[in-house]
């Protein structure tokens, strides 16, 4: 399935209906930003929600999903909606 261009997709747990992740796409349909609301964290190292961005310049086939860290150490970018 081709995701919509310049859009956001929300992913929910099929059983509980809980929001797990939001993903934003650019004009070419490439993932550019993720906000993780919940996922497996067996090492208890994550705070939720937290953001990641996709760096397509590093690898056009499957780029790394990098952790967002704001200028004050914040894990979410409140300017990204």
pLDDT digits (tens, 9 = 90+) for 23-74: 999 998 889 999 999 988 777 777 899 999 998 887 667 778 888 999 999 9
Q: Does residue 1 have a pLDDT over 80?
A: no
Nearest-5° angle of CA 70, CA 74, CA 75? 95
Domain spans, the chain: 8-67
pLDDT digits (tens, 9 = 90+) for 14-37: 999 999 999 999 998 889 999 999
Cβ-based neighbour number of residue 77 at 10 Å: 14
Question: What does pTM read for this prediction?
Answer: 0.79
Cα–Cα nearest to 76, from 47, 40, 43, 56 = 47
Q: Does residue 81 have a pLDDT over 80?
A: no
């Amino acid at each position: 399935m081709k995701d919509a261009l310049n859009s956001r997709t929300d992913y929910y747990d099929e059983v509980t209906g809980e929001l797990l992740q939001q993903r934003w796409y650019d004009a070419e349909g490439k993932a550019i930003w993720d906000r993780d609301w919940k996922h497996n964290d067996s090492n208890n190292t994550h705070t939720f929600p937290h953001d990641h961005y996709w760096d397509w310049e590093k690898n056009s086939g499957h780029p790394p999903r990098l952790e967002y860290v704001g200028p004050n150490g914040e894990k979410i970018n409140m300017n990204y909606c």
